[in-house]
Amino acid sequence: MRSVLITGGAGFIGSAVARRLVGKGYRVVNVDKLTYAGNLASLRDVEDRENYRFVQADIADQGRIRALLEEEAIDGVMHLAAESHVDRSIDGPAAFVETNVVGTVALLSATLDYWRSLGGERREAFRFHHVSTDEVFGDLPLDSGIFVEDTPYAPSSPYSASKAASDHFVRAWHHTYGLPVVLSNCSNNYGPYHFPEKLIPLVTLNALEGKELPVYGKGENVRDWLLVDDHAAALELVLTRGAIGESYNVGGSQERTNLVVVETICDILDERRPLASGRGRRELIRFVTDRPGHDRRYAIDSSKIARELGWRHSVTFEEGLAKTIDWYLDNRWWWGPIRDGSYAGERLGAGA
C-alpha cells in the first residue's frame, strides 16, 4: 500500500495518523473540511514533505472525492472524518447525522465506484478502513463487563448513535457490494494536539491558568484511556494487515474515573508549574450538573488486535499523561490561539 487517503486528517487522531504515515514513507492525501476542530497547525511537521498533500473538501462531495481517488491512485482509505463531541451532539444532533452518516455514505459510494474501476493486484490490495468508537456499544456497569468486537450496539448519545449508523453502512457496503472494508473501535484517546474542549486538554489548560476545573456529576464515570500515538500505530496495522470484513477493538487497558484523571493532572502540574498562590490545584475542582445520558463506564478488550496483528500499547496512563502535559507546557504556539482568540465564545464541556 503506497498511497493513502485520510479523511479528517486535520483532527486530533487523523493528524496523528497522517504524521505517522508520512514519516514512514506513505503517500498521504489528507482530506478535511476544516470545521472548528480541524487545525492545520497540527500538521506543521509534515506540511512541506513531498509525500504529503492537503485538500480542503467535504466527504459528502462525492464527485470531488471520486476524482481525487483517481487522481492520486489511492490504494487505501482511512476514514476518520467525524463530528465527535458528545456535548455538541446533544445541543445540535443534525450536524452529526449530516457528517457521520450522510457523509460516510457519500464517501462509501465514491470509494466503491473507484474500487470497481481498479484491476488485478491493485483491486485485491485496496482497503477501506472505517475508524469508530467504543461509545457505539453503550454503557457498562461500574464493576463488571468489557466491550468485545461482537458486543451488541446500544448507543446512548446522538454522537454515538450517528457513529453506530456509520458502522452499519460500512458493513452493508461490504456485504452488499463487496467493498473490502476493515473497521476499528477505539477507547478514549489523549495526547498532543487534542482540541481543548475535551477533558484532558481542557483541565490541563484551565489548571495551568489557575481556573476552575469543571467535572460532571461526582466524577465517577470511568473511561479506558489510549495514547493517540499508540492508536495511530494500531490503525496502520488494521489498514495494512487487518482481515477484510473484520473489526478490531483498540484500547489502552487503562481505566480511570474522570475524577482520578483530573486529580492526576492537578498533581503533575503542581510539581511542574506550582501556582504562585501556593494552592494545590485540586482545590480548583468544581462538580457540575451531569450531562444527559452520561455513560457510566467504557472498557475495551484489545486481545484480538494483540493476537492477530501483534499490537500492544506502549505506555501506562500516568506515563502518557505526563508526556502529554509536558507537550502542552512546551507548545503554547498551538493551543494559545484556540484559547485566546479563534475559538472565543465556544462552549467547552466538562468531561469525557
The CATH number of the domain holding residue 133 is: 3.40.50.720
Q: Which domain holds residue 106?
A: 3-189+227-251+299-314
Q: What is the pLDDT of residue 85?
A: 78
The answer to whether position 20 is within a domain reads yes
The answer to whether position 221 is within a domain reads no
Tens digit of each residue's pLDDT (9 = 90 or more) over 114-164: 999 999 999 999 999 999 999 999 999 999 999 999 999 999 999 999 999
- Give the ranges where 118-227 is alpha helix by DSSP (H): 120-125, 158-177, 199-208
Question: Is 338 or 350 the better-scoring residue by pLDDT?
Answer: 338
Rounded distance, CA 142 to CA 220, Å? Answer: 9
The answer to whether position 215 is within a domain reads no
Q: What is the pLDDT of residue 352?
A: 57
The answer to whether position 134 is within a domain reads yes
Q: What is the pLDDT of residue 349?
A: 43
The answer to whether residue 84 scores a pLDDT higher than 90 is no
Q: Is 91 a catalytic residue?
A: no
Lowest mean pLDDT among 56-65, 85-94, 182-191, 315-324: 85-94
Burial class, 161, CB count within 10 angstroms (exposed 0-12 / middle 13-18 / buried 19+): buried
- Give the ranges where the chain is alpha helix by DSSP (H): 12-23, 62-71, 86-91, 93-96, 104-117, 120-125, 158-177, 199-208, 228-241, 258-272, 303-309, 317-330, 332-337
> Do 12 and 195 contact (CB within 8 A), yes or no?
yes
- Give the ranges where 79-157 is alpha helix by DSSP (H): 86-91, 93-96, 104-117, 120-125
Q: Is 135 a catalytic residue?
A: yes
The answer to whether position 256 is within a domain reads no
The answer to whether position 321 is within a domain reads no
Q: What is the pLDDT of residue 121?
A: 95
**CB contact set of 1 (below 8 Å; sequence gap of 6+):** 26, 75, 76, 125, 127, 239, 240
Rounded to an integer, the average pLDDT of 36-48 is: 94
Q: What's the total number of domains in the chain? A: 1
The answer to whether residue 80 scores a pLDDT higher than 70 is yes
The answer to whether residue 344 scores a pLDDT higher than 80 is no
The answer to whether residue 60 scores a pLDDT higher than 60 is yes
Question: Is 27 or 36 the better-scoring residue by pLDDT?
Answer: 27
pTM over 0.75: yes
Residues 26, 52, 114, 159: which is the catalytic one? 159
The answer to whether position 168 is within a domain reads yes
The answer to whether position 220 is within a domain reads no
Residues 32, 58, 75, 135: which is the catalytic one? 135
Q: How far is CA 264 from CA 200, 280, 288, in A?
A: 10, 12, 19
Q: Is 124 a catalytic residue?
A: no
Residues 75, 83, 134, 263: which is the catalytic one? 134
